[in-house]
Structure 1
Amino acid sequence: MDISIIEGTIKVLKNNNFEVFSASDPEEARTIFLNEIYTQLQPATVSWGDSQTLQSTHVLDDLEKNPEVALIRTFGAGMSRTQKVYWRRQALLADLFLAGTNAVTQKGQLVNLDMIGNRVGGITFGPKNVVLFIGVNKIVPDIEAAMQRIRTWTAPQNILRHQGFNTPCRKTGTCMDCRSPHRICNTWTITEKSWPAGRIKIILIHQELGL
């Protein structure tokens, strides 16, 4: 991606009250998180939403080894649906919430689409601080382009990552605006600005990562 687009996006994100860090790769993003963000915030509780970009940094492995932080796990193979919903509600009270974003516009807006809303809920309200790990491939011109990208690429690819979700897009590879009980496209959020200023921190990684 053109470096001028990346730099311009960082500038408008900062103007929109997001705190932005720039990383060349996932390892540098991990270093920034541990040395510049985590040490400053010193959270007692941390939770996270599903994000391949976050996983690529391995910061969750570091947190797992830290006896000073309590992790609120909201999904896992051994968890029932009731347990997942319970812990996802508890995650909204965490000191720190980690996630990615589906898209970020060149106007400095975050655009996300969720199935039940726990990830977007954590981003928009609840946790004291939020850190989003974002690859530059998520940068799009505007909200319309963001929604198009999410419908035609992100959501269908996410369906393929999870077994048991039988939606039309699993076969077609694009959104069919379905009425399936397994539909994951239920709640849109557009975050224009971080409030309070700096609550949402972004580590923009100069690689194509995640969906």
Structure 2
Amino acid sequence: MLATRITNLLASFKPITVEAHCDTADGPAVTSGRKALDTGNINYALKWIPADGEAELREVFDKAIEVRTLGTDAADLSDRLFLETLVRIHRMGEGVAFTGIQAPGTEVDPVVTAADEAIRLGTDAALLPMVPTDRRAELDKRFLAAMEVKDFDVDDVVAGRRYLAAYVDFFKYAEGEDHDHAHHAAHAHQH
């Protein structure tokens, strides 16, 4: 079947390096994208992209939802196209090239893993010792800013994008990037 061959061909393309944890099949962007597909609510994914990418993602989402009903191979292919489109638009909004979605289990920087845990648990206590002492106060400030806007209604896309801007700012600083990524992300994600 053509869909099976296309799916297998697409699966054979694997970039060599991980650019960010949002590029991984286990990462938060793909997880949100899968939730959007499973629930039929694109708003789970829209927070990850700038407003100017929304029309493209909505078009792919609507087609993916429709094609998913045609069988397992069609669902796999349509899901992959949607998730790759989501991550590509997200990365473009950050000004970074899309290199593909990395396989499940792809190794992620321990600081990024600890930052994910901090957001999940609501405390950055385990993360702070992993960064240089002179960066801890600013990292904690960015963590608290992300936590302050973390809980939002999934259907409030503007609030979701506000959270994502703070989230990305926190992660980029944790990874050692000093520029004001929140300003860039907020500008890229504004409605």
TM-score with structure 2 length normalisation?
A: 0.25
Which has the bigger relative contact order, CA under 8 A and spacing at least 6?
A: 1
Q: Relative to total residues, which structure has the larger helix share, 1 or 2?
A: 2
TM-score with structure 1 length normalisation?
A: 0.23
